[in-house]
Amino acid sequence: MPKLSDKKSIFHRLFLISEKILYICIGLGLMIGTGEIIFEGFKALFHTFSYKTFSEGAINVLDKFLIAMMFLEILYTLQIIVEEEYESKCLEPFLLVGIIALVRRLLIIGFEASHSEIFNPLKFKYYLLEILTLGFLIILLTFGVIFLRKNKREKGNG
């Protein structure tokens, strides 16, 4: 008769296998989505000058390609999860995805604020507040990445 620990071990292995299969399915979906977003980005780049203002076209192109970069960073994170041991998952790619998303939003806000046709002091105040918040979050996540890399080096050398 199998021991209880054997049953837990079999269940644990089955769970890990199904988890990896699901990560692979998510990765395939992200690859398809990334390809579509990159295609849309090139279409937007081709039609940049057909917008009412160049700024609108540039924001659209920038938005598409930055989202594609976020998707690629998420794919890289999935690659690390699938290839590495379960216990040694890496947190750094998640922080990098967050930094890319924050920088994307920061660039979009900065571009919208500087290319607005009508100056609205209240809207500008909110833009500045959001830029300040995003900048602070980017700095925090960057320190998180630096801390993780420093920890990896110390564990590797120690």
Q: What is the pLDDT of residues 5-47, one digit of tens each?
A: 666 788 888 887 888 888 888 889 989 999 999 999 999 889 8
Higher-scoring residue by pLDDT: 43, 148: 43
51 & 127 share domain: no
Maximum distance among all alpha carbons in the chain?
Answer: 78
- Whole domain around residue 115: which residue ranges? 91-158
Global pTM value: 0.60
Encoded amino acid at 77, one letter: T
pLDDT at position 86 is 45
Please determine, for residue 110, whether its predicted confidence score (pLDDT) is greater than 50.
yes
Distances (CA, A) of 97 to 48, 120, 122: 27, 32, 31
95 & 155 share domain: yes
74 & 95 share domain: no
77 & 2 share domain: yes
* Domain end call among 84, 115, 131: 84
Dihedral over Cα of 150, 154, 156, 157: its sign: positive
Contact residues for 141 (Cβ-Cβ < 8 A; gap 6+): 95, 98, 99, 102
74 & 123 share domain: no
Average pLDDT value for residue range 80-96 = 67
